[in-house]
Chains A and B, each alone.
Chain A
Amino acid sequence: MLSPPLSLRRPWHASGPRTRRGALPWRPLLLLLALALQALPHRAARAAEPSLRDLQVLARSLGFLEPAPRGLAEIGIVYAAGDSQGEAEARRIATLFGEGLRAGNLQLRPILVPLDRVRDSRAAALLLARSALPQAPMVAAAVAGRAILTVATDRAPIEQGLVAMAIRSEPRVEIVVNRAAAQASGVTFAAAFRMMIQER
């Protein structure tokens, strides 16, 4: 076990070569700061099922695509075919869209897309439900060069370059774009938008 720093073992008022009169006790202050930071909540490593707020962030982000989709557009909720839990999750997500999620002059209408139908999709964007994440490489290959934005609420696929964009709305809006993945899928974002998000 490590012994505490010397300055912590000495009384604060003690005189001696290690504590000058009037000087701030930097070492214990730094130690306290480090302990306080350890106690602070850290970023969640795993994303939960997308919330309505997440979907609003997604819809608004589409407005910064170049060219931006306008009017009525489809967003595919990608899930693993044959996975009943995955399909149920995709349906829950689709329900959040209601009659269509509006963002500016865009109205997003959800459609369910099983993994084996991704190649046929003509959606403006594909949101990967959790059951589809293990097959993210297959989705990336399917949308290559087709100007379809792939999105996840999990961070891992974006770090691996398997989706173009990751979103999260709580506790603050965080948007991460993987440049290589976006380029591979033929997706371009407005410069102002790129300057306000994280890129990989």
Chain B
Amino acid sequence: MRGPAWIRAPAIALPLLLPGLAAAQGLDRAALEDLFGEPVTMSATGRPQRLSDVPLAMDIITAEQIRRSGARDLPGVLARYTSLDVNQYDTHDAAVGVRGYAIPNSPRLLVLLDGRQVYLDDYGRTVWHLIPVQLAEIRQIEIIKGPNSALYGFNAVAGVINILTYDPAYHPVNEATLRLGSGHGREVSGATSARLAQGGGIRLSAGIRKEDRWSRGETQLARFYAAEEEPSRYQIAGTASVALSDTVRFGLDASYSRSITSDYHLSGFFLPWDMRSWSLRARLSATTASGITEAALYHNGLGSSLVNTSGLHQGVTVAQLSHTMKPGPAHTLRPFVEYRYNQLSAGGSIHAPAHGYSDPGWRISAQIAAAGVMWNWDLTPGLSWTNAVRHDHFWLGGGGHDAPLFPYGATPYSDAAYDRQHGGSSWNSALLWKASEHDTFRVTIARGFGAPGLSDLGARASPAAGSAILGNPTLRPTTVDNYELGYRRSIAAIEGGAGLSLFYQMNNNLNASLASQVTMQPALGTYVLVPSNVGSAAAYGVEVSANGRLSAIQDWGLEYRMAVADNPPAPNMAGFGQASPRHILALRSGWTFEPVRIDGFLRYASMVSGYRATLRSLRSGAQADYEYMQVENTATLAARAAYPITPDLLLALEGSNLLTGHQRQGIGLEAERRIYLSLTAQF
């Protein structure tokens, strides 16, 4: 074997540790997709599957669709091709949800980048503009609707979005984009790849983007807290994949991302953040005679600064091991184990020598050990049964909570209150019946398991304006029981297909997080916000999708979602039931007039509403002091027209919110029409 010693050593050692390693190769998705003529995914069950064999409600957005979307960020792509809830609060800030309950900082959706968690555990949120990926390097975006905690663990309670980039060993990406537009929008991004010896590859990507915030619709509070700097983000990432031997592949990826923005938070206001995240991950995979063994070890770091507070530091270290095997012609098994250590800490923000007080800061940590198994049984050639079960066990810990909360005094939660542990199980069971070459039926029942964000468990704050905030170590996890029927049909007459899903879900122990009701704490003598469980709520609905071609030059697609979401019984200001539109309809059509390509995306969303905080409500927490915002039905249009100047140089005109100059689409700022000109070079 050739290569440096540090590469050779693990290549030699691994077969000794994992006996039975024989001929192996990595998963060449492109080759599999060429063979089967459809997208290939591992996100649904952990085993490689064709999209038409997946036993869950799943969408895949391809690289071609991403390019044709004209979107400049991930929420924009999702809004144009799916019926997901995409609640846009500002030009860069959005909450994305599945089947309702898309409140700001929703902890219900797990977002992964090549299988690595980019969901942030601090507040239990996904900061989309902090995800270190450029659109050009994305192979596909996989969207699982419904709980899949049994495979991914907690927070995959409403769904999973897995953003998959190209494997540099199989598909080099060499592309640069310059984008300029209204609102002082400017962006430079790109990726470059190189082949490595022995079937390896490496890719580096980077991007800088700046643009003005939307200018209308702020509350008085938003202006009070508004960031002075324009929203901007800086990202750099690298990934490499090499073959250590014919049997083993090794991958290493690293990223750094900085984002300066004002993001919308519960309970209804913008906070100016300066966030820095970084990650480092090592991956090992081997295809053995009995299956595919995968191991990963990664660390995500997050440092964030917020007005009036000291910096927050969060880190999560994750170790994962799985083995996917097919012990018999009809059975596939995937046992897996996972360990993670997660910590959120804050330095002391208040120092009052005159009062003899120095804030020691605080920290909250969670150790989690999990184990589970997926089992797929092909009962007959047309009928398969997939089951997955996983158990997560949590050990909580805390520090700095014994100190009094200046200037109020001792809090109800000491460090000892954080010395606790609990566990939770999640499971999925799905029957998939291919009734004919064209028709597939699906029945799914699942339980998802969602842990609270670390901030909800352990934060301590006495901000200059507003009530004190105390994390609640007794918060219970949210569970989601989901029942679902699905049907899919391929229709040759339209060169496409159609699908239908009916779902009913019961959400237990919903966590209102920072939208929990503020109460007077006599012991502290002040109003305190303590994140609380607010009870259970049901949701049900239907999803319809269809796509096809009208002619050789025109293709089309339709996504519709109805979700009726109840409110939990206990009072809160999250507005769960009204946070998402009841009806979402996304229509798209594309035309090819060689060499010009035109795509249009029309999206309709019915009414949403929510509470927006005011200076007065921050202090009192009283519902009457909040501003109730009701947003009427909206229709939006986005479009792109692209012209190849040369085979390697593409000029595109892209627009979003084209129907009106300013439009209220959500409870954040009023959306603005933005038009961009982009130049993309491939080299």
Chain A residues close to B by CB (< 8 Å) = 37, 40-43, 57, 60-61, 63-64, 66-67, 103-104, 171-173, 179, 188, 190-196, 198-200
Contact = CB atoms under 8 A, between A and B. Distances in A.
Contacts of B37: 172-173
Interface in B18-64: 22-23, 25, 27, 31-32, 34-38, 40, 47-50, 52-53
A51 to B, nearest CB: 14
Nearest to A40: B436
A43 B437 contact: yes
Contacts of B291: 191, 195
Contact of B329 (A60, A103, A200): A200
B438 A171 contact: yes
Contact of B326 (A43, A66, A104, A199): A199
B438 A41 contact: yes
27 contacts: A40-B438, A41-B438, A43-B436, A57-B35, A60-B35, A64-B35, A66-B22, A104-B31, A171-B437, A171-B490, A171-B492, A172-B437, A173-B36, A188-B23, A190-B23, A191-B287, A191-B288, A191-B291, A192-B292, A193-B32, A194-B326, A195-B324, A196-B49, A196-B50, A196-B53, A199-B330, A200-B329
Given A173-B35, A195-B332, 10 more contacts: A43-B437, A57-B35, A61-B35, A66-B25, A171-B490, A171-B492, A191-B325, A192-B292, A195-B49, A196-B32
B175 interface: no
B435 interface: yes
B435 A40 contact: yes
A192 B409 CA distance: 60
Contacts of B332: 195
Contacts of B490: 171-172
Interface string B231-250: 00000000000000000000
Contacts of A199: 326, 329-330
A42 B291 CA distance: 33
B326 A37 contact: no
Given A60-B31, A66-B23, A199-B329, A37 B49 contact: no
A96 to B, nearest CB: 18
Nearest to A180: B329
A194 B332 CA distance: 10
Contacts of B381: 198
B34 to A, nearest CB: 6
A37 B290 CA distance: 38
B378 interface: yes
A191 B437 contact: no
A40 to B, nearest CB: 4
Contacts of B32: 192-193, 196
Give the residue among B324, B329, B438 with the most A Cβ atoms within 10 A.
B329
B253 interface: no
A178 to B, nearest CB: 9
Given A67-B23, A173-B35, A196 B438 contact: no
B31 A63 contact: yes
A61 B35 CA distance: 7
Interface in B281-299: 287-292
B390 to A, nearest CB: 20
7 A-B pairs with least C-beta separation: A199-B329, A66-B23, A60-B35, A40-B436, A171-B437, A192-B48, A191-B287
A42 B659 CA distance: 47
Nearest to B332: A195
B439 interface: yes
A172 to B, nearest CB: 6
A196 B38 CA distance: 12
A196 to B, nearest CB: 5
Contact of B25 (A41, A43, A190, A200): A190
Contacts of A192: 25, 27, 32, 48, 287, 292
B357 to A, nearest CB: 61
Nearest to A43: B437
Contacts of B330: 199
Contacts of B438: 40-41, 171
B48 A196 contact: yes
A64 B27 CA distance: 10
A172 B436 CA distance: 11
Contacts of A198: 329, 378, 381
Contacts of B31: 60, 63-64, 104
A104 B199 CA distance: 14
Give the residue among B23, B35, B288 with the most A Cβ atoms within 10 A.
B35
B48 to A, nearest CB: 5
A60 B49 contact: no
A41 B438 CA distance: 8
Nearest to B288: A191
Contacts of A104: 31
A43 B439 CA distance: 11
A174 to B, nearest CB: 9
Nearest to A173: B36
Contacts of B439: 37, 40
Contacts of A173: 35-37
Contacts of B48: 192, 195-196
A195 B47 contact: yes
B334 to A, nearest CB: 10
A193 B324 CA distance: 12
Contacts of A191: 287-292, 324-326
A40 B436 CA distance: 7
B142 to A, nearest CB: 16
Contacts of A195: 47-49, 291, 324, 326, 332
B323 to A, nearest CB: 10
A193 to B, nearest CB: 8
Interface string B288-317: 111110000000000000000000000000
Interface in B180-226: none
B37 to A, nearest CB: 6
Nearest to B331: A199
Contacts of B22: 66
B292 A37 contact: no
Contacts of A67: 23
A193 B47 CA distance: 10
B436 A42 contact: yes
A195 B438 CA distance: 21
Contacts of B378: 198
Interface in B410-463: 435-439
A171 B436 CA distance: 10
Contacts of A194: 326
A104 B23 CA distance: 19
Nearest to B384: A198
A60 B36 CA distance: 9
